[in-house]
Structure 1
Amino acid sequence: MIKSRIVVGVDGSDHAVAAVGWAAAEAARRGTELRVLAAYYRERSTPGSSSTRTAEGHAADNLRRAVAQAHAAAPGIEVKCLALPGYAVPMLVHASEEAAMVVVGSRHEGGLPVLPFGSVSSQVATQARCCVVVVRGHYDPDAGPVVAGVDGGVSSAVLGRAFEEASLHHTELEAVTVGDRRRPDDPLGADLDADLDPWREKYPGVRARREYVDGRADRVLVQRSRAARMVVVGPRTHGYEGLMLGSIGSRLLRRSACPVVVAR
């Protein structure tokens, strides 16, 4: 099954408005459907109580506003919406199974129900089955390069997503490896830039370079985000692949000056 749908979670907050705008623009670039989802609490009610109806109505109002915002940002795209009872994280993780991308705002502690531990953005970023975009900071679609955080193993998921986004946005790509040159086990190959050659062949219109930078990964990527269009990183396992579970990922989600793309 080819997954092309883009899903965005909303709760009526300013952060959700930013996420909807980003997702709508991305849907227009890809020529794909945008699906807007909202979660609401289904509380036990007594006869005559309207608490559930109120929560569902609030979610429906958020969806109507989000659909209008999506059409304003990208007229002509196909937008579908759905309000579901329950928590936002399982709803969005389930939706990720049939989506190419899930988009969330940088904070969701308002009207979107969250599980007791952590924010929607951090939980979805670690659990989703597809690419996740956490929209925060500036998100000017016409300014700055795509920055990819890559380790010595050079994740194909990260570089593939970074090249694809750079191609769609008609911009340059900076692949950054961060570490300590004094450590003998750091990836200091003769030509770090050569790792990009297969992707340059696939995306000949993208100007790309790879750079090795001394320092702490979280600080370097946050600093690079200030002039970037987006920062692309990997999900879990090793090196950058584990960043969403540690201090690097947490700092990036809190401090990045542009959208953070978690590639899969």
Structure 2
Amino acid sequence: MMGPRIVVGVDGSTGSRAAVRWAATEALLRGAELRVLTAYHLPGAGAETGDILHDAVTYARAVAPGVEVTCMALAGYAVPVLLHAAEVADVVVVGCRHGGGLPGAPHGTVGTQVATHARCCVVVVRGRSGSGTGPVVVGVGDQAADGGVIGRAFEEAALHDAAVLAVTTQDPELADSLAVWREKFPDVPADCEVAEGDPGKVLTDRSRQARLVAVGPRRHGFEGVMLGAIGGRLLDHADCPVLIARP
């Protein structure tokens, strides 16, 4: 039976290096396999692709000694390659692009498209380099719909010995709704905040002191999922990694 797997997309950029660090640290905490993945579509790209993978794998092993690291270079464009990998992954991790990047998409769209369409959780690593401190912030709208997202936030906080801050602009009874998660994770400090204003802006503001911001995708139609305005704003402006959590 296959154990947990984290996939990280790399392209040799500073953003993908940050993604490798985040993914390797998470793999170590979870006892997961780390798969380093890159895509190529130009003939003769083999040497460059090999260097990218070698550097990423070497860095991952330095960050998290003992983690099982595998690597793959697949022909194709970044988004479909990563979405295919997501079919057998627990988490897909990508970096924030600042020019250059995995082939096949304009600036800034790989993370957004993967976060929108992947069937597993997606983390877009962005923001300040010192985001390894502070609480896990979770945005809550509909308690029934966001229960899994809250649970994932508590899980992340427990792994990283951090606190949870649940933020809502809609539900003044959020504190009562956290009781079940406090019971499941008694060692995780948890607080809640009922804020006023645009939810995306509120969560972006809270990201400046957070180690991670977690939100859920918005449901659309029978099976469709879309990222939504809140997730989209965070992927563009958050000052820490962003988790789009799925069950």
| TM-score, structure 1 normalization | 0.85
Q: CA deviation at 1:252?
A: 1.1
Conserved 8 A contact 2:168-2:174 = no
CA displacement at 1:244 relative to structure 2:
2.2
**8 Å CA contact 1:234, 1:243 repeated in 2:** no
State the AA in 2 paired with 1:228.
Answer: A
Equivalent residues in 2 for 1:125-136 (5 A)?
A: 125-136=115-126
Provide structure 2 residue ranges, at least 5 long, that are not aligned to the other structure.
none
Residue 56 of structure 1: how far off its partner (Å): 2.3
Name 1:263's counterpart in structure 2.
245
Letter matched to residue 88 of structure 1 = A
Give the corresponding residue for 2:205: 223
* Cα-to-partner distance string for 1:11-66 (whole Å, 9 max, x where unaligned): 00000000000000000111111000000014xxxxxxxxx12x122111100000
What amino acid is aligned across from residue 10 of structure 2 in structure 1?
Answer: V
Output the aligned Cα RMSD: 2.1
Shift of residue 114 of structure 1? 2.3
Structure 2 partner of 1:244: 227
- SS state of the match for residue 166, structure 2? strand
Deviating 4+ runs (over 4 angstroms)? none
Q: Is residue 24 of structure 1 aligned with residue 24 of structure 2?
A: yes
Specify the alignment match of 2:83 in structure 1.
Answer: 93
Cα distance change of structure 1 residues 232 and 4 upon mapping to structure 2, 3 Å threshold: same
Separation in 1, partners of 2:188, 2:67? 26
128, 149, 152: which is aligned to 1:158?
Answer: 149
Cα distance in 2, alignment partners of residues 245 and 86 from structure 1? 27
Indicate the structure (1 or 2) with the bigger Cα radius of gyration.
Answer: 1
Q: Percent identity?
A: 55
Aligned to 1:5: 5
Distance 1:59 1:108 in 2: 19
Partner SS state of residue 206, structure 1: coil
Unpaired runs of 5+ residues, structure 1, are 43-51, 179-185
Q: Does 1:210 align with 2:192?
A: yes
- Matched residue, 1:196: 178
Is residue 78 of structure 1 aligned with residue 68 of structure 2? Answer: yes
Q: Verify the 8 A CA contact 1:130 1:263 in the aligned structure 2.
A: yes
The answer for the alignment partner of 1:15 in structure 2 is: 15
| Structure 1 residues 204 and 130: alpha-carbon distance in aligned structure 2, compared to 1, 3 A threshold | same
Whether the 8 Å contact between 1:139 and 1:259 is mirrored in structure 2 is no
Partners of 1:107 and 1:29 in 2: CA distance:
26
Q: Give the equivalent residue in structure 1 for 2:171.
A: 187
Q: How many residues align?
A: 242
